[in-house]
């Protein structure tokens, strides 16, 4: 049986020999020059996003939207059963009242995300520190796995305990549809040693000075390669990636990028397998595809966040103008209430309605219970003329 050993081949490459799982090599294996233009675009977009107005109302709405989207996406990657709307509703429930295992997974993820944010806070939240990493510890890994696994009725997945496959007990990662299956290390000795080596490599000064985007994506890649726990490896790996990004100032995008992974699920899994096979064949740059995918996902995600924030700002400006119109008598109290009711219907998921469809809704019929239909249409005309509703194709839009 070979001896456990580690050897640094250069500043960014650590080769490890295990007892039973053969050799592992932690390295960059990237065309850094080829990645730099996209990294610069991501960092420019993130810096601009971080400088957007940090008004409490904007931040609160963004946090709620991104939290629901992130939890939904990472849970769906693992086969979760809830829609994004159902996820948002469950996350508003007190975790102490949650009983079902599937719902508990969602509240667990919420608590894990909150832990990452609390343990990544810096004096200046707007400062992007693209090449100034912080250490990741084994305790961080155990804490995150414990948070995603706590209270879940899974006898075979004890929180914060590494796998130790018994003779004949198999662990397979992936499937044929996404590029093939992979058998990760099985013995506890090998897993413990590889996790220690992973942290040594991840926290080495030469790796810490790399772009946080590269360090985070490779931390995620190698964690999934080791696959240290019985279950929850995907969720924990994405949270580790999030932790590294949050530490470097990638606000909101650090977890929002999970939607990109979920929307491009085949590519996400297939690139993991493709890069794993290229590394086994020692074909550089083996990790380029997976890292580029993550960086492109961050760019798409940050642009989406810009759009979301701009929509919230526009809506706040609209609300202020609407309140001013009421106070200056440009709109009557009834007309103001009609707009408010329609806004409530749209925010609850209703599609745009024609004036006649809107008039038939119970809330609007109640508002005009002592008025004629003609009065209703005159109010609609006044609201449209004032610019607080737009008539497009016969339907009303805010």
For residues 257 and 203, the answer to whether their CB atoms sit within 8 Å is no
All residues at 6 or more sequence positions from 185 whose CB lies less than 8 Å from its CB, including other chains: 18, 20, 21, 191, 194, 226, 227
234 appears as a binding residue in the annotation: yes
Rounded CA Rg of the chain: 26
Query: Residue 34 annotated as binding?
Result: no
Task: Report the C-alpha gap between 398 and 388 in whole angstroms.
Answer: 6
Q: How far is CA 371 from CA 162, 195, 296, 352, 359, in A?
A: 69, 72, 55, 24, 12
The token pair at 262 is: 């979920």
The reply to whether 12 sits in an annotated binding site is: no
Q: What share of the chain is helix, strand, coil (3-state, %, to 5)?
A: 60, 5, 35
Phi/psi zone of residue 343: left (φ > 0), alpha (ψ -120 to 50 degrees), beta? alpha
H helices present in 281-389, as ranges: 288-327, 333-347, 355-359, 362-367, 373-385
Cβ-defined contacts of 329-334 (< 8 Å, 24+): 330/386, 331/382, 331/383, 331/386, 331/388, 332/379, 334/367, 334/368, 334/371, 334/379
Is 227 marked active-site? yes
On whether 297 is known to bind a ligand per the annotation, the reply is no
3-state secondary structure of 17: strand
Spatial contact of 77 and 87, defined as CB atoms under 8 Å apart? no
363 token code pair: 């809330």
The reply to whether 361 sits in an annotated binding site is: no
Confirm whether residue 235 is marked as ligand binding.
Answer: yes
Q: Considering only CA atoms, which of 115, 87, 92 is closest in space to residue 103?
A: 87
Phi, psi of 390 (to 5 degrees): -115, 135
Catalytic residue among 145, 220, 227, 287: 227
Q: Is 236 annotated as a binding residue?
A: yes
DSSP lists the bridge partners of residue 25 as 15
Residue 31 is assigned to a ligand binding site: no
Give the integer Cα–Cα distance in Å for 196 and 202: 10
The separation between CA 323 and the C-alpha centre of its own chain, rounded to angstroms, equals 35
Phi-psi region of 288 (alpha: psi -120 to 50; beta: other; left: phi over 0): alpha
Q: Residues annotated as binding site?
A: 231-238
Q: Residues annotated as binding site for ATP?
A: 231-238
Residues belonging to the active site:
227
């Amino acid at each position: 049986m070979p001896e456990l050993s580690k050897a640094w081949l250069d500043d960014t490459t650590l080769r490890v020999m295990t007892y039973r799982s053969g050799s592992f090599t932690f390295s960059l294996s990237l065309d850094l020059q080829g990645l730099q233009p996209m990294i610069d675009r991501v960092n420019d977009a993130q810096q601009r996003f971080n400088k957007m107005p940090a008004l409490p109302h904007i931040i609160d709405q963004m946090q709620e939207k991104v939290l629901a989207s992130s939890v939904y996406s990472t849970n769906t990657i693992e086969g979760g059963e809830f829609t994004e709307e159902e996820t948002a509703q469950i996350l508003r429930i007190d975790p102490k009242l949650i009983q079902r295992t599937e719902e508990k997974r969602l509240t667990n993820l919420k608590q894990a995300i909150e832990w990452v944010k609390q343990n990544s806070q810096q004096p200046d939240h707007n400062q992007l520190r693209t090449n100034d990493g912080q250490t990741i510890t084994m305790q961080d890994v155990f804490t995150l796995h414990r948070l995603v696994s706590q209270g879940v009725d899974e006898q075979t997945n004890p929180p914060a305990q590494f796998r130790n496959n018994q003779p004949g007990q198999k662990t397979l990662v992936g499937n044929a549809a996404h590029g093939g299956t992979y058998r990760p290390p099985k013995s506890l000795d090998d897993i413990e040693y590889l996790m220690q080596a992973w942290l040594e490599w991840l926290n080495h000064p030469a790796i810490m000075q790399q772009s946080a985007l590269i360090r985070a994506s490779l931390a995620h890649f190698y964690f999934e390669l080791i696959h240290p726990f019985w279950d929850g490896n995907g969720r924990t790996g994405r949270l580790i990636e999030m932790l590294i990004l949050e530490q470097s100032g990638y606000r909101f995008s650090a977890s929002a990028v999970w939607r990109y992974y979920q929307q491009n699920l085949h590519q996400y899994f297939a690139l993991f397998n493709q890069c794993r096979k290229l590394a086994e064949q020692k074909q550089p740059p083996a990790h380029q595809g997976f890292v580029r995918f993550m960086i492109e996902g961050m760019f798409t995600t940050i642009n989406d966040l810009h759009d979301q924030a701009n929509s919230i700002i526009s809506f706040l400006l609209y609300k202020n103008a609407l309140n001013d119109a009421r106070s200056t008598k440009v709109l009557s109290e009834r007309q103001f209430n009609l707009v408010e009711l329609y806004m409530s219907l749209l925010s609850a998921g209703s599609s745009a309605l024609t004036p006649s469809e809107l008039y038939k809704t119970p809330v609007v019929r109640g508002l005009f219970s002592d008025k004629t239909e003609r009065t209703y249409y005159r109010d609609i005309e006044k609201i449209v003329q004032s610019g607080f509703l737009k008539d497009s194709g016969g339907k009303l839009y805010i």
